[in-house]
Amino acid sequence: MPDGPLIVQSDKTLLLEVDHPNAEEARRAIAPFAELERAPEHIHTYRVTPLGLWNARAAGHDAEQVVNALITYSRYAVPHALLVDVADTMDRYGRLTLEKDPDHGLVLRTTDRPVLEEVLRHKKIKPLIGDRIDDDRVAVHPSERGHLKQELLKVGWPAEDEAGYVDGEAHPIGLDNADWSLRPYQQQAVDGFWHGGSGVVVLPCGAGKTLVGAGAMAVAKATTLILVTNTVSARQWRDELLKRTSLTDDEIGEYSGARKEIRPVTIATYQVLTTRRKGVYTHLDLLDARDWGLIIYDEVHLLPAPIFRMTADLQARRRLGLTATLVREDGREADVFSLIGPKRYDAPWKDIEAQGYIAPADCVEVRVTLPDSERLAYAVAEPEDRYRLSSCSPVKIPVVERIVAQHRGEPTLVIGQYLDQLAELSERLDADVITGETPVSQRQKLFQAFRVGEISLLVVSKVANFSIDLPEASVAIQVSGTFGSRQEEAQRLGRVLRPKGDGRTAHFYTVVSRDTVDAEFAAHRQRFLAEQGYAYRIVDADDVDATA
């Protein structure tokens, strides 16, 4: 197609011109194997990676389809080397298969003997495998299933896991569909996951990932272990499950620092699982406490390293990962792929926003100029203090006050990193503050009050980053953050993206100090926003009043 919407670059990025009449068609053709990297207004950038290509293979696509999609929609000749590379990479998937054999248990089987010979000689893989059964097969101890998959991926021969799953202890779970139903994309996500067996569902914040989890539980109809980031998040899962499914209070247990209940559906925090006493993980028994039929990982991109190791031993159980982004700041995407599973469903934010399920957002960066005295202090500060110094500048406070005043009456969150800054803001704004030190009961009381509209302004620390569900927050003001974390930015934006009852536009403000590292980090985080298609504006503090 000489005038196709796609430009294939030599560095394996694909540029999709969104205004092109065939853009949607092309997007659908490349989505299975290319990861959306950036989605600004005119041209979306996708990247072809080995993981992406193997994801596509896992989803049943073959190299020919991929090559065909590239050639069909490309505007210029596609670099031949790239096509060859695509075919080669995809061809590596599935040469090795993990299967269940009636006589030998778990076996690694190959369709290509030299590959098997190659991996068997690898010094990290050798200890993970058992006896050779015949030329094409070798026994694998079930406990090494995860490690083996991890190592095989590292050497570039990802194994297809067809060994199946244990059904686990059956437990009746149904969706309580009286006054709601799964949205079409949620249903697709559940179907995609169930069909694939295990894997990750990527949905933007506010798009109802909890419901995808509930949907998966209703299909599995088995005891379920849900791993979440923190206690607040655990309570929300519980509330949501009580509301949306046939589960009753007695059937849902919480396994956290405060309570240790093991019930047919158990919600545990990552923190409690990774607690160690004298170098021993004390709560590992939980994983074997019941014959779990499904394990759900909330916020997969935050999964701590020890959980990966534990997950390696849970390969016989169905695993569902939920996340807003597969981007991990530590680059362990490959472990997510091999241990939890390939990506099973992915929808870009803008699409779901366009369908009206998440609120449109107006992102504004407000730049304040530091007074001379602070500029001098900043200039002479040690590099490690500079971020704190610039992001906690007192000149930010009047600006925040003005923004809050502009949106008076709308549910507003002020989010920050440093406690003294938050305390000062809370005093000046006459608002309650929630930090890690706030007791859970107090926290939930405040959230409840915020939810029902008794209070419309809260100052929160980074505890608010994850999984607090504030349905009507429509304005978020960020005064400081964890350096340049893109993931945090996504979470915070997520706070205001829940659909609003009246379809209002959500507002997301970031207040930064001009000409300092604060602004540099902000630029890094905003790149993520812009890449997700959220146009942001930059205004000077003096112009704030004009933005309303």
CB atoms within 10 A of CB 280: 8
48-56, 102-110, 383-391, 532-540 -> range binding another protein (CB under 8 A): 532-540
Binding residue for another protein (CB under 8 A) from 9, 246, 274, 275?
Answer: 9
Instruction: Answer for the pair 165, 198: CB distance below 8 angstroms, yes or no.
Output: yes
Nearer to another protein, 10 or 373 (CB): 10
Least CB distance to another protein at residue 516 (A): 13
* Residues within window 68-107 making contact with another protein, judged by CB under 8 A: 74-80
- Would you give the binding string for another protein spanning residues 461-500, x where CB under 8 A is met? ----------------------------------------
**Positions of E strands within 263-411:** 265-269, 276-277, 280-281, 294-297, 318-323, 343-346, 361-368
To another protein, the closest distance from the beta carbon of 9 in angstroms equals: 3
132 forms beta bridges with 138
Beta pairing class for 506-513 and 361-368: parallel
In whole angstroms, how close is the CB of 531 to another protein at the nearest point?
5
CB 523 within 8 A of CB 529: no
Binding of residue 362 to another protein (CB under 8 A) = no
Least CB distance to another protein at residue 472 (A): 28
Is 452 near another protein (CB under 8 A)? no
CB of 82 to another protein, least distance (A): 9
User: At its nearest, how many Å lie between another protein and the CB of residue 526?
Assistant: 8
Cα Rg for the chain, rounded, in angstroms?
Answer: 25
Q: How far is the CB of 375 from another protein (least distance, A)?
A: 13
Nearer to another protein, 84 or 305 (CB): 84
Q: Does 38 bind another protein (CB under 8 A)?
A: yes
Nearer to another protein, 395 or 530 (CB): 530
Indicate which single residue of 165, 194, 281, 536 sits in contact with another protein (rule: CB under 8 A). 536
Q: Which is nearer to another protein, 77 or 280 (CB)?
A: 77
Among residues 85, 351, 362, 515, the one that binds another protein under rule CB under 8 A? 515
Residue 133's Cβ-count burial label (10 Å; 0-12, 13-18, 19+) is middle
Distance in angstroms (rounded) separating the CA atoms of residues 53 and 546: 48
Angle, CA 172 vertex, CA 168 and CA 174 arms, to 5°: 125
x-or-dash pattern for another protein, window 13-32, by CB under 8 A?
Answer: x-x-x---------------
C-beta separation of 177 from 244 below 8 A? no
Establish if 10 lies at the interface with another protein (CB under 8 A).
yes
Per rule CB under 8 A, is residue 8 in the interface with another protein?
Answer: yes
Judged by CB under 8 A, the chain residues 42 through 71 that form the site for another protein are: 42-43, 45
Applying CB under 8 A, the span of 33-41, 60-68, 104-112, 265-273 interacting with another protein comes to: 33-41
Q: Binding another protein by CB under 8 A: which of 22, 25, 40, 85? A: 40
- Choose among 337, 326, 266: nearest CA to 296: 266
d(C-alpha 137, C-alpha 122), whole Å: 16
Closest by Cα among 307, 338, 305 to 55: 338
For residue 35, the minimal CB distance to another protein (Å) is 15
Could you tell me the smallest distance in angstroms from the CB atom of residue 38 to another protein? 6
Beta partners for 367? Answer: 512, 540
Please report the DSSP string for 27-83 in residue order. Answer: HHHHTTTEEEEE--SSEEEEEE-HHHHHHHHHTT--HHHHHHHHHHHBSSPPPHHHH
Task: Measure CA 333 to chain center.
Answer: 11
CA–CA separation, 151 and 159 (whole Å): 10
Min dist CB 296 to another protein, Å, is 33
The DSSP bridge partners found for residue 511 are 366
Q: Which is nearer to another protein, 281 or 536 (CB)?
A: 536
Q: Is 101 helix (H, G, I), strand (E, B) or coil?
A: strand
Running DSSP on this structure, what letter comes out for residue 170? B
User: Is 41 one of the binding residues for another protein (CB under 8 A)?
Assistant: yes
Cα dist from 17 to 5, 74, 78, whole Å: 5, 11, 16
Number of residues that bind another protein (CB under 8 A): 31
Give yes or no for a contact between 39 and 350, defined as CB atoms under 8 angstroms apart.
yes
**C-beta closer to another protein: residue 54 or 528:** 528
Q: Walk across the sheet containing 96-101 and list its strands.
A: 129-134, 137-140, 105-110, 96-101, 159-161
Residues that bind another protein in the complex, under the rule CB under 8 A = 7-11, 13, 15, 17, 38, 40-43, 45, 74-80, 514-515, 526-527, 530-531, 535-538
